[in-house]
Every structure is written in C-alpha cells, then in structure tokens.
A and B are shown apart, each in its own frame.
Chain A
Amino acid sequence: MPSFYHETQTVFGTHKNPVLQWIFTIDHKRIALLYMGVMFTLFFFAVSAAVTMRAELFFPGQQFLQPHTYNELFTFHGVTMIFLFIVPGIAAALGNFMLPLMIGARDLSFPRLNLLSWWLYILGVVTALSSLMTGNGFADTGWTFYAPYSIRTDAHVLSTLSAAFILGLSSILTGLNFVVTIHRLRAPGMDFFKMPLFVWGLYATAWIQVLATPVVGITLLLVILERTLGVGIFDPTKGGDPILYEHLFWIYSHPAVYLMILPGFGIISEVLPVFTRRTIFGYRSIAISSASIAGIGYLVWGHHMFTSGMSDLARIIFSLLTFLVAIPTGVKIFDWIATLYKGSIILATPMLWILGSIINFTVGGLTGLTLGAIGADIHLHDTYFVVAHFHYTILGGVVFMFIGGLHYWYPKITGKLYDEFRGRIAFGLMFVGFNLLWFPMFIAGFLGNPRRYFDYLPTFTPFHQVAGVGAVLVASGLLLVLYNFYRGLKEGKEAGANPWNGTTLEWHIPSPPPLENFSKIPYVDFDPYEYENGEPIVQFDENFRRVR
C-alpha cells in the first residue's frame, strides 16, 4: 500500500512538484513533519544561543560578549524556545501526526485550517528572525516583555512582539482544530474514557490554547500600540499600571507551562504500558488529572508576581492555590510508578527517556513547590533557582518526554528502526549532562545569584563552571540523537506495523501510514491499554473488523 509519503492532497488539488506538494499539503501527517523540520532548525539556533551564554558565563567578568548582546541572546533563546519551539511543540508535531491515528479518524476536522496554522507559524518565525537583521537588533526584554521596559527600549521589540502575536494565532487555530476533532471524529464506540491518554493530554492542552492564548495576544498587541501610538495602558507616565501587564502576561503564560507539559505527560502514559506489557494503572485518574491540571492552572498565575507589589492578601491566596496543582500532578506520577509494579519492564530507548523525564520532572516540580512557598519565593524569585526549576521541568521534563515520544513513534513515522545502542548512549549523555548543567544552578540561586545577569559575583564561579561542562555533554548527546535518527532513515531495518507490541489504534495500520490512515474506520468498544500475559488483546482483520 502506498504511504502518505507517496501521495498527498493539497489545497489546490494535486501537484507534481514535490516541494509544492509539501508546503501546500493538507494531510495532517505531512503538516506534522513540516512543523518538526522547522522546529528542529530553530531549536538548533536556540541551543547555540544557550551554549554561547554558557561560554560567556564560564568565568566571571566580561569575556567576549557585550552586556547588551548577552541580553539579546537570552531573549532570543527564551523567545525561540518558548514561542517557537515548546509551545507549538509536542502538540503541533507529534500531536498533529498521532491524534487522528489514535482516535480512528482520517484527518483533523479542518485540514485547511491546519495548513493555515503552519503558515502562520512560518510567518511568525520569519517575523521573529527578521529582527535579527533589521532595526536595532533582537529584542532585549527577556521572553516576558515586561512593561515598561518593553515600551522604552530601543531594540527591535516590535517585530518580536508581532511574531509572538502571530504565533499565538497559529496556536489558537491548532487548539481549535484539536478540540473539534476530538469532539467530532472519534471512531464510533470510542467514548471519552476510551481515548488514549495522549489524546487526553492534547485535549486539555487544546483548551488552554483556545482560552489562554487570546489573553496574551491582546496584551502583546497593547504593548505594540503603546510603542507605535503611545496609548499608555501600561505606561506609568500616562497613568498605566505595569503590574497589570504582569497579570495579563502570566494569566496566559502560567497555563502555558501546562500546555507544554500535558502532551508530554500523555507520551509517558503511552510509552509506559507498552514497555511494561501491562495495563496502565488508574486510567481514569490520569485522564481526569490532565483536565484538572489545566483547570487549576488558570488560577495560580500570581505566583510569578510575589515580589511585584501586588497586595499581600493576593499573594497568599495565589500561594495557596499554587499547591493545589501539585495534587493531580502527584496522582499522575504515583499512577505511573504503580504501572511498573508487576509488569515486565523493557528498558528500550523510549522507556529510558520516559523514566529519565519522570526523575527530572519530579525534581523540577518539587522545586516548583519551594517557589510556591511564598516566604521562600521572596528570596528565590528571579534567581537562578527559578531558572533551574524551569529547565528541570521544561528541558528535563518536556524535552525529554518529547525525545522519548520521537523514539517511540519513529518507526510509525518513518517505517524504519533506529539503532538501540546509540539511542541509549545518547540518553546517558543527556541525562548526566543535564543534571550537571542545572543542579548547581539551584545552589547558585539559593545563594543569591540573580538571573539575566551577564556577569556575576566571583562567589558563583564554580557553579557556572560545572554547568558549562554539563552544557557540552547535553549538546553532544543531542547531536547523537539527531545522528541516530539520520542513520535510521538511511540504514534502519523495516519496522513493520507494530514493532513494540502497542495496543492503540495507530499500531494497527501500516508504517508509515497510508494517505487517509484508515481504509475502514474501526468500531472501538475497548479500553486503550489491554494486555493479557504481555500480549495485546484486541486484534483486527484487514477490514478493521475486530477479531479478538
């Protein structure tokens, strides 16, 4: 059967030219690969910026960067990583590819809208990068664009802001598409509690995208108007209140951190049953906790503003609410650990990444609690402790889960197998390197090293040097991952439809999948992770009639 690599549909019907076939495709799988390609490239730039920062920070004092350049670098790093990489992230790349496969649909509800999202994304990318070449250089505001600095600086903030705005639009459209798809296109028989947990993660994520992104969109637009027309809503010289800006920014950006992690949690829930050869423990509580994390996540934004000068009572309430998020998150973690109990654990590469990400994320999440403890956060706010916290959750958590997911679905996407050995070495490098890189930063932060500091007091030198070494390990591990994927494409063995003995629908169709995924839509009246004696229970015949 020809796969989706061989034939496609575009907005204009059909094309001969392969380039046009790709950039105008309306096939969700191709669009997912388009996202992945661009994200990889950008990701490479952002990592280069990070490594440059680490090199500058290797010794105290000024090495080879101007302070202003350093500020541009971390802004570029933050903006690219957040808005261009991790927010579209798992959802737009793996989610786009897998969602229809997992719920038994032939595409998303609005394939053209999906393509539009990608084009908006590209427009956003181009707008953001254009400020590297034009105006007074890249924005130097940090990824948070706090007013009034973002109103006053003469760096090229306008294009960065517009980029974030456009990317927001793209993200909203993706979310909308996912919500409708999940509501409308589940295969007959599949009710909400028969959906795979990755789909639950995407569902919660999609609602965050739809409900929170417009808030940051309009807020950034107001800053744009402030710079161009002098409207004054956040400018204290005109009576505006900068703290309101902070509120509006975090009303989006806190839920956004769950938007990053929830699909990642979904990946964990997919990989674990497959590599323990047993049913997941607590399906329902994992599903519901995804939704409640998304819900509670809306109420805690103020924990980023404990020192901003908002009222003391508000700070206390936000601190209290912050702790509530940890409860459903903890439930998830315990459910996963319980899934290991009496399974048959196979330490394949995806499983290693997933287990590693659970360890890292636990550290990241627990330090989040320390930050949520308001008295402690007064001291820790805007120090490297925070930076370490979110690299543990995002890099150690989300990115590890992402890479785990990439390994897990690599055979489905490409039809080939990667090399196991290389995969495990790469994981080892990254895991060790990552912890070397970020653990010392907790200590530096606790001792009072503020973030966004181009230079630091000499006291902190050893911490930054260990981190520098870690960064090199991480970067080389990353390169090895990429090399492994590349070699897999060239010389990997044929994977077959179901190399891991998975149970969810995507493993019942050929790898790589054909154009519209399912020749016949199956009837789904079974739970997603059903094993018996380590073998999947459900089987289909070639017409997608269930035979077992």
Chain B
Amino acid sequence: MEHEMAYDMQGKSYPVTDFKDDYSGEKFGFWVFLLTEAMMFGVLFLLFSVYFYRHSEIFAISSGELNIWLGGINTVILLLSTYTMGLASLMMRQNKIRTSAILVGVTALMAVVFLGIKGVEWSIDIHHGIYPGSGILDVMDKGKILFFGLYFVMTGLHGLHVIVGIALMCWVLLLIRFGGIRPEHTIVMKNVTLYWDFVHLIWIVLFPLFYMIGV
C-alpha cells in the first residue's frame, strides 16, 4: 500500500502514521506495559526490603532453609532460555523460520522444566507445613511468616508470568506455523522475546533476595 500523505499550504507532503501496522507503536506500547509490570513487582520488592530491614536476622535464617541448588539450577535454566528465545528472534529475521520455531520450542520446554523444579521446591516446603496460613507457620516467629509469605507470593506471581510466557510461546509457534509471524513481520515475536527477558530479569532479582541472603 502506498503511504498516505498530508499536505501543507505550500503543497509539501508529510507522511501520516496510521494506527494499523504501526510497528514502532506496538513496540513502544509493549515497553509501557512492561513498565506497569515493573511497578507491580517493584511494590513487592519494596515490601520485601521493609520487612527485611525489620527482621534481617530471621530473614537470613529462613533464607538458609531454601534449597539454593534448586534455585540456582532454575536461574541457569532461565538464563539459557532467554538466550534461546533471543536467538529465535534473530533467526526469524534472518529468514531461518524452522530453526527459529525449534528454538521457541526449546525455550518453552525450559520454561516447563523451570516450573517443574519450582513445583518440587514448593511441595517440599508445603510438606514441611511451611505455607501461608498453615498452623505450623503461624506459630513461628513473625519474621518467618513474613519471609515465607513474601516468598510464596513473589515466586508465585513470577511463576504465573512463566505460565503466561509458555502460553505466549505456544501462540508464537502457532503464528509461525500459519504465517502470522514472518521474517518481515516479527512484532509479536519481538514483544514476546522482550517479555521473556523481563520475566528472566525479575528472577535475577528474586534469586539473591530469597536464596542468597542466608549464605
């Protein structure tokens, strides 16, 4: 389609941006969306720091109870998965559609493994009676209740984002399959990659907060 033009009094022409297929607009919009996400997690980090300040010793003790190995493996997995996702995005632009699709699949698979490990961690804690509202946790020190309250809320919310991420990747795969994402039309893929970077970034902050302050 030819680009629409607007004309001034002298007849000079200026290109018009339309709301349809506005690549920069869609990218910018997604950045704004990520900003809202950042604000939301920001609040939780703020709460964490306030309570950490008030109960630092017990937070450290409680942190020592988490399994740093499982958390560490998960960190590595997420790190790798952002890499594969980024690569997928790159491959798409280089017209290597199949490789790109495979890489998205691999990313989604890693996300599933991440969730699996997270699930194991949670179930160990829950098995020990450590979960919000449990009779066991509620008679413990306040700092501990808060630490685990925040732990479950924050990793839970992050986990939710991972689940959404997996759904998005499946969607990306479908779009690739049916031509919704093409080397010359990658905005959805770009944004999903951006999203995944963000999810990974959140984890990079969560990990030291919960797993490493006790070391």
For the complex, what is the distance from the CA of A541 to the CA of B78, rounded to whole Å? 59
A232 and B39 in contact (CB under 8 A), knowing A239-B55, A545-B7?
no
Most B CB contacts (10 A, CB to CB) among A172, A183, A214 go to A214
Among B18-26, B93-101, B161-169, B184-192, the one that faces the other chain is B18-26
A239 and B29 contact, CB distance less than 8 A: no
In the complex, chain B residues whose CB is within 8 Å of the CB of A547: 9
Residue B14 at the A interface, CB < 8 A? yes
Contacts A176-B33, A225-B132, A238-B138 known; list 19 others, CB within 8 Å.
Answer: A110-B29, A179-B29, A179-B32, A183-B25, A185-B19, A187-B6, A187-B16, A188-B14, A189-B6, A217-B40, A218-B43, A231-B133, A231-B152, A231-B153, A232-B146, A240-B146, A522-B6, A525-B8, A546-B9
A210 and B16 contact, CB distance less than 8 A: no
B14 and A523 contact, CB distance less than 8 A: yes
A210 and B138 contact, CB distance less than 8 A: no
Residue B35 at the A interface, CB < 8 A? yes
For the complex, what is the distance from the CA of A522 to the CA of B16, rounded to whole Å? 9
A183 and B14 in contact (CB under 8 A), knowing A231-B132, A521-B6?
no
Residue B177 at the A interface, CB < 8 A? no
Interface string of A499-537 (1 = CB under 8 A from B): 000000000000000000000111101000000000000
For the complex, what is the distance from the CA of A233 to the CA of B143, rounded to whole Å? 10
Q: Of the candidates A108, A210, A218, A240, which one forms a contact with B44 in the assembled complex, judged by CB atoms under 8 Å apart? A: A218
In the complex, chain A residues whose CB is within 8 Å of the CB of B146: 232-233, 238-240
Residue B15 at the A interface, CB < 8 A? yes
CB distance from B169 to the nearest CB of A (A): 21
CB distance from A314 to the nearest CB of B (A): 13
Residue B102 at the A interface, CB < 8 A? no
A109 and B19 in contact (CB under 8 A), knowing A188-B6, A238-B138, A244-B50?
yes
In the complex, chain B residues whose CB is within 8 Å of the CB of A110: 19, 29
Q: Of the candidates A108, A219, A233, A523, which one forms a contact with B149 in the assembled complex, judged by CB atoms under 8 Å apart? A: A233
B39 and A214 contact, CB distance less than 8 A: yes
Residue A38 at the B interface, CB < 8 A? no
Residue B17 at the A interface, CB < 8 A? yes
Q: Of the candidates A107, A176, A188, A217, which one forms a contact with B19 in the assembled complex, judged by CB atoms under 8 Å apart? A: A107
A239 and B142 in contact (CB under 8 A), knowing A176-B29, A210-B32?
yes
A183 and B6 contact, CB distance less than 8 A: no
Please, could you name 14 A-B residue pairs with CB atoms under 8 Å apart, sorted by A?
Answer: A106-B18, A106-B19, A184-B24, A187-B6, A188-B16, A189-B14, A211-B39, A213-B36, A225-B132, A232-B133, A232-B138, A521-B16, A522-B6, A525-B8
Residue A229 at the B interface, CB < 8 A? yes
Chain B residue at minimum C-beta to C-beta distance from A236: B142
* Interface footprint category on A: 35 or more
Task: Work out how many contacts link A and B, with CB atoms closer than 8 A.
Answer: 128
For the complex, what is the distance from the CA of A106 to the CA of B145, rounded to whole Å? 53
For the complex, what is the distance from the CA of A545 to the CA of B50, rounded to whole Å? 60
Residues of B that sit less than 8 Å from A by CB: 4, 6-9, 14-19, 22, 24-26, 28-29, 32-33, 35-37, 39-40, 42-44, 47, 50-51, 55, 132-133, 138, 141-143, 145-146, 149-150, 152-153
In the complex, chain A residues whose CB is within 8 Å of the CB of B15: 188
Q: Of the candidates A109, A212, A248, A525, which one forms a contact with B22 in the assembled complex, judged by CB atoms under 8 Å apart? A: A109
In the complex, chain B residues whose CB is within 8 Å of the CB of A523: 6-8, 14
For the complex, what is the distance from the CA of A210 to the CA of B149, rounded to whole Å? 27
In the complex, chain B residues whose CB is within 8 Å of the CB of A525: 8
Grouping DSSP codes into helix (H, G, I), strand (E, B) and loop, the B interface class, with mixed when no group exceeds half, is helix
In the complex, chain A residues whose CB is within 8 Å of the CB of B35: 210-211
Residue A230 at the B interface, CB < 8 A? yes
In the complex, chain A residues whose CB is within 8 Å of the CB of B44: 218
A176 and B36 contact, CB distance less than 8 A: yes
Q: Of the candidates B40, B142, B145, which one forms a contact with A218 in the assembled complex, judged by CB atoms under 8 Å apart? A: B40
Chain B residue at minimum C-beta to C-beta distance from A548: B9
In the complex, chain B residues whose CB is within 8 Å of the CB of A176: 29, 32-33, 36
Residue A105 at the B interface, CB < 8 A? yes
B37 and A184 contact, CB distance less than 8 A: no
Q: 9 smallest A-B Cβ distances: which pairs?
A: A239-B142, A230-B133, A188-B14, A214-B40, A214-B39, A523-B6, A184-B25, A231-B149, A231-B132
Interface string of A213-229 (1 = CB under 8 A from B): 11101110010010001
In the complex, chain A residues whose CB is within 8 Å of the CB of B153: 222, 225, 231, 233
CB distance from B209 to the nearest CB of A (A): 15
B36 and A211 contact, CB distance less than 8 A: yes
Interface string of A81-119 (1 = CB under 8 A from B): 000000000000000000000000111111100000000
A183 and B28 contact, CB distance less than 8 A: yes
For the complex, what is the distance from the CA of A222 to the CA of B6, rounded to whole Å? 50
For the complex, what is the distance from the CA of A512 to the CA of B18, rounded to whole Å? 22
CB distance from B143 to the nearest CB of A (A): 7
In the complex, chain A residues whose CB is within 8 Å of the CB of B18: 106, 185
In the complex, chain A residues whose CB is within 8 Å of the CB of B50: 241, 244
Most A CB contacts (10 A, CB to CB) among B26, B47, B141 go to B47
Residue A180 at the B interface, CB < 8 A? yes
A108 and B47 contact, CB distance less than 8 A: no
For the complex, what is the distance from the CA of A185 to the CA of B19, rounded to whole Å? 7
B40 and A238 contact, CB distance less than 8 A: no
In the complex, chain B residues whose CB is within 8 Å of the CB of A111: 19
A215 and B39 contact, CB distance less than 8 A: yes
In the complex, chain B residues whose CB is within 8 Å of the CB of A214: 36-37, 39-40, 43
A244 and B47 contact, CB distance less than 8 A: yes
Q: Of the candidates A107, A180, A222, A520, which one forms a contact with B28 in the assembled complex, judged by CB atoms under 8 Å apart? A: A180
For the complex, what is the distance from the CA of A545 to the CA of B5, rounded to whole Å? 11
CB distance from B164 to the nearest CB of A (A): 14
B43 and A180 contact, CB distance less than 8 A: no
Chain A residue at minimum C-beta to C-beta distance from B141: A239
A238 and B145 in contact (CB under 8 A), knowing A176-B29, A210-B35, A244-B47?
yes
In the complex, chain A residues whose CB is within 8 Å of the CB of B133: 229-232
Q: Of the candidates B7, B25, B32, B149, which one forms a contact with A232 in the assembled complex, judged by CB atoms under 8 Å apart? A: B149
In the complex, chain B residues whose CB is within 8 Å of the CB of A520: 6
In the complex, chain A residues whose CB is within 8 Å of the CB of B43: 214-215, 218-219, 248
Most A CB contacts (10 A, CB to CB) among B4, B138, B145 go to B145
Chain A residue at minimum C-beta to C-beta distance from B144: A239
CB distance from A204 to the nearest CB of B (A): 15
